[in-house]
């Protein structure tokens, strides 16, 4: 066989096999972006929510211990490495949601208007929890995948305080969990 003919067959073979592999391979779920949620930077109003507009804490400065004079209250925090702190307000029109995501560090969230429904990917059957105005919840981050949605009848808002490793993105989009319902964008 002519070497040139053999070379052409070798080059064409992958082109014939590739469509078959794409057809037979299961496609992974795609990341789910934010749907209608508006995020405001409360530390630097009018500025983007990015590492240039976050509070910075050098390693060791978040090593805190406080024993209150009240019974059974103790705060103990130890953070190794530099950290960025964000304070954000999220506005959720009816039906708006955050998309599936995680954070590289913890968040403290308080609902300040309306009500928000939180879906956790590791919850049995992805059972949601509803938080009303004045209620707070925590998100440990570090791979905890969740989605927050306004399933109420009025606009909702929350305020979040987040601590993440310095320079890390505040939010990391995640794929649609197989165990959770598909939540579309209205």
Report domain extents, the chain.
Answer: 38-173
pTM: predicted TM-score of the whole model, two decimal places: 0.81
Express each pLDDT in 144-175 by its tens digit.
999 999 999 999 999 999 999 999 999 999 99
CB atoms within 10 A of CB 110: 15
For residues 159 and 145, what is the distance between their CA atoms, to the nearest angstrom? 19
pLDDT band for 133, please (50, 70, 90 cuts). Answer: very high
Confidence of residue 14 (pLDDT cuts 50, 70, 90): very low
Among all chains, which residue has been given the structure tokens 């306004």? 150
Is residue 74 over pLDDT 70? yes
Tell me the mean pLDDT in the region 69-96. 94
Would you say domain 38-173 falls under CATH 3.30.200.20?
A: no
Contact 96, 117 (CB under 8 A): no
Instruction: Considering only residues 72 and 60, tell me which one the structure prediction assigns the higher pLDDT.
Output: 60
pLDDT on residue 30: 62
Closest CA to 29 of 144, 185, 186, 179: 179
Q: For 42-53, what is the mean pLDDT?
A: 95
Q: What is the pLDDT of residues 95-126, one digit of tens each?
A: 999 999 999 999 999 999 999 999 999 988 89
> Could you give the CA distance from residue 145 to residue 174 in angstroms, rounded to a whole number?
7
Over range 15-43, report the average pLDDT. Answer: 65
Confidence bin at 16 (pLDDT 50/70/90): very low
Q: Which residue has the higher pLDDT, 92 or 125?
A: 92
Residue 1 pLDDT > 90: no
Determine the Cα–Cα distance for residues 73 and 93; give it in Å rounded to an integer: 37
């Amino acid at each position: 066989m002519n070497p040139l003919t053999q070379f052409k067959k070798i080059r064409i073979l992958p082109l014939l096999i590739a469509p078959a592999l794409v057809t037979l391979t299961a496609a992974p779920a795609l990341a789910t972006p934010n749907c209608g949620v508006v995020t405001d930077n409360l530390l630097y109003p009018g500025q983007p929510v990015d590492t240039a507009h976050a509070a910075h804490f050098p390693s060791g400065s978040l090593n805190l211990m406080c024993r209150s004079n009240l019974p059974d209250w103790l705060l103990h925090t130890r953070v190794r490495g530099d950290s960025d702190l964000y304070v954000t307000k999220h506005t959720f029109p009816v039906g708006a949601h955050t998309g599936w995501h995680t954070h590289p560090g913890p968040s403290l969230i308080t609902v300040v208007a309306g009500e928000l429904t939180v879906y956790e990917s590791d919850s049995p059957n992805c059972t949601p929890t509803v938080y009303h105005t004045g209620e707070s919840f925590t998100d440990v981050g570090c791979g905890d995948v969740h989605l927050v949605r306004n399933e109420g009848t009025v606009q909702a808002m929350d305020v979040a305080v987040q601590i993440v490793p310095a320079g890390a993105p505040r939010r990391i989009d995640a794929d649609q969990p197989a165990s959770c319902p598909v939540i579309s964008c209205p």
